[in-house]
Amino acid sequence: MKRMTQLIYSGMMFLSVAACGTDSGETGTSTPKDLSQQPFTGKKVLVAYYSYSGNTQAVARQIAQATGGELFAIETVQTYPERYNDLTAQAKREINAGFMPELKAQVPQMETYDVVFIGSPNWWGTYAPAVRTFLSQYDFSGKQLVPFFTHGGGGMQRCESDMKVQLPQAQFLPAAAFPGRASGASADKLQNWLGKLLP
Ligand SMILES: Cc1cc2nc3c(=O)[nH]c(=O)nc-3n(C[C@H](O)[C@H](O)[C@H](O)COP(=O)(O)O)c2cc1C
């Protein structure tokens, strides 16, 4: 059911964006760097993500594999509705209210990480409320934050910029947005983005 919800949404969004002739929010396609050496060698990397229907989780797993990072799934105590209309309506209400749902767990020893990738689906043009809660729970000073998103055709929209508004003091590396797919991001796009994060 969740998969169907995602497919329906993706299809709708894709059509509307294709009409505009843009792939906003996608990473570029310049020559990828050699990532045979892991890009964050010597740094402790966390890959935290929220995923409703699996697409963002798939990208998170790819990033963890490429960086040697540890995965952390952000999960809400209250589950979201499975019916499409109920889900989108609740998401819209929560986003408009700045609501921060309670999360199931916290990252053990967050202070030990140097780099924190933070992943979310694009919900109504911004990141999911669960990620807002997550970002409110830790002190990120001294860390590098690397946002990534999956979307149904709208691209990055306000995902990255809204995150910077929530955490104006944090040090962000450039974000990436990937089309939402169960199989994750294309290897080229992912490597190109990660390669650009290298010093
Ligand atoms: C409530 C809701 C709102 C969404 N809003 C957008 C949107 O504004 N723009 C967009 O491109 N995709 C939107 N989508 C599609 C998701 O961003 C996309 O399917 C994403 O890959 C889902 O990630 P997940 O499988 O990790 O949950 C929305 C999906 C849902 C469920």
Is residue 34 a part of any domain in this protein? no
The answer to whether the CB of 52 falls within 8 A of the CB of 75 is no
Q: 13 CB under 6 A from ligand 1?
A: yes
CA of 199 to the centre of ligand 1 (A): 32
**Ligand 1 atom nearest residue 153's Cα:** 11
- pLDDT tens, position by position, 118-131: 999 999 999 999 99
- pLDDT tens, position by position, 129-140: 999 999 999 999
Is residue 182 a part of any domain in this protein? yes
What's the rounded mean pLDDT across residues 102-109? 97
According to DSSP H, which parts of the chain are helical?
A: 2-20, 55-67, 84-97, 129-136, 159-166, 187-196
User: Ligand 1 atom 22: the closest Cα is on which residue?
Assistant: 121
Is residue 37 a part of any domain in this protein? no
CA–CA distance, 11 with 9 (Å, rounded to integer): 5
- Out of 29-33, 40-44, 130-134, 195-199, pick the least confident: 29-33
Is residue 21 a part of any domain in this protein? yes
Is residue 97 a part of any domain in this protein? yes
Is residue 36 a part of any domain in this protein? no
Give the chain's domain count: 1
Q: What is the pLDDT of residue 37?
A: 53
Q: Residue 28 pLDDT > 70, yes or no?
A: no
pLDDT tier, 199 (very low <50, low <70, confident <90, very high otherwise): low
Q: Which CATH number does the domain housing residue 106 bear?
A: 3.40.50.360
**Ligand 1 atom nearest residue 50's Cα:** 26
Domain hosting residue 175, numbered range? 2-27+43-196
Q: 84 CB under 6 A from ligand 1?
A: no
Mutate which of 10, 122, 127, 150 for ligand 1 pocket (most atoms within 8 A of beta carbon): 122
Q: 62 CB under 6 A from ligand 1?
A: no
The tally of CA atoms less than 13 A away on the side-chain side of residue 39 is 24
Q: Residue 187 pLDDT > 90, yes or no?
A: yes
Higher-pLDDT residue of 3 and 129 is 129
% of the chain residues with pLDDT over 90? 77
% of the chain residues with pLDDT over 70? 79
The distance in angstroms from the start CA to the end CA of the chain is 42
Is residue 174 a part of any domain in this protein? yes
Is residue 115 a part of any domain in this protein? yes
